[in-house]
Amino acid sequence: MKILYFAWVRERTGVAEEEIALPDGVRDIAALVDHLAARSPGHAAAFENRRTIRAAVNQDFATPDTTVAPGDEVAFFPPVTGG
């Protein structure tokens, strides 16, 4: 699956985009965050305070209990500040 990072989440992970294999047992955003946070110290720093992270699955805003499946495009980013 494709994982995208934006703004300071991207700066902390050190990558804008990465391809990962969805591990067995990871079925929602909350579990995916646990999995990704273990990838590197940068990822751990990015996901340090989960309340400040927002997510999207296939370009729709998601919540911690939104389900994820192989092939999905999942993005993580701070709360939006456009306008």
Partner 1 sequence: MAPRILVQEAPFDAAAEAARLTEGRTDVGALASFTGLCRADDGLRAMVLEHYPGMTERALLRIAEEAMARWPLTACTVIHRHGRITPGEPIVLVLTASAHRAAALESCAFLMDWLKTKAPFWKREELAEGGSRWVEARATDEAAASRW
Rounded to a whole number of angstroms, the CA Rg of the chain reads 12
Q: Which stretch binds partner 1 (CB under 8 A): 3-11, 26-34, 37-45, 62-70?
A: 3-11
Q: Does 82 bind partner 1 (CB under 8 A)?
A: yes
**Could you say which of 23, 70, 71, 79 contacts partner 1 (CB under 8 A)?**
79
Question: Applying CB under 8 A, does 59 fall inside the site for partner 1?
Answer: yes
Separation of alpha carbons 42 and 31, rounded Å: 18
Closest to 7 (Cα-Cα) out of 56, 77, 73: 77
Helices (H), 1-83: 7-13, 29-37, 41-46
- In sequence order, the β-bridge partners of residue 74 are 3, 57
Interface with partner 1 includes 50 (CB under 8 A)?
Answer: no
Per CB under 8 A, the segment of 18-26, 32-40, 43-51, 57-65 that binds partner 1 is 57-65
Which residues contact partner 1 (rule: CB under 8 A)? 4, 6-8, 56, 59-61, 75, 77-83
